[in-house]
Amino acid sequence: MSDTIFGKISRGEIPADIVYQDEAVVAFRDLNPQAPTHVLVIPRKPIPTLNALEAEDAELVGKLFLAARKIAEQEGIAAAGYRTVINCNAAAGQTVFHLHLHLLGGRPMGWPPG
Ligand code: 5GP
């Protein structure tokens, strides 16, 4: 399976501003934040895109969202509201091919997204 910069972050091989981690997921601040809070939540397992999810990953996907919920509370954005986004492949603008959930908050969000 191909390695990515996020794989290296999850293994501690390159630095990141980590805000949460457990046995299944790692969460760190985006290098180019699009909101006052912009955290990326990734599984330690290197799944390239949503298209590659298998039935056996169902619990892991739940853990991504449970981590996002925890981090939103930690960041003080849970009550006001926040957005979670997973980009899949080129048309959605995915640039790093290790599954990641964007957690964005701290400002009002427009809809539809760009
Ligand atoms: P995508 O467009 O694939 O959904 O999102 C990739 C995100 O990863 C982008 O928001 C980008 O700013 C962020 N990013 C890319 N490389 C790095 C890095 O080395 N460290 C961190 N913390 N974020 C990165």
- Domain ranges in the chain are 5-92
Tell me what percent of the residues of the chain surpass a pLDDT of 70: 98
The candidate with the shortest Cα–Cα distance to 65, out of 18, 99, 108, is 99
State whether residue 65 is helix, strand or coil: helix
pTM of this structure: 0.98
Instruction: Specify the CATH number of the domain 5-92.
Output: 3.30.428.10
Q: Is the pLDDT of residue 1 over 60?
A: no
pLDDT tens column, 42-82: 999 999 999 999 999 999 999 999 999 999 999 999 999 99
The set of catalytic residues is 100
Choose the residue to mutate in 3, 32, 38, 47 for probing ligand 1, maximizing ligand atoms within 8 Å of C-beta: 32
Residue 70, both tokens: 């925890």
Choose the residue to mutate in 29, 88, 96 for probing ligand 1, maximizing ligand atoms within 8 Å of C-beta: 96
Determine which residue's CA is closest to atom 18 belonging to ligand 1: 31
Q: Which residue carries 């799944």 as its tokens? A: 47
Query: Ligand 1: residues whose CB is within 6 Å?
Result: 5, 16, 28-32, 40, 87, 93-96
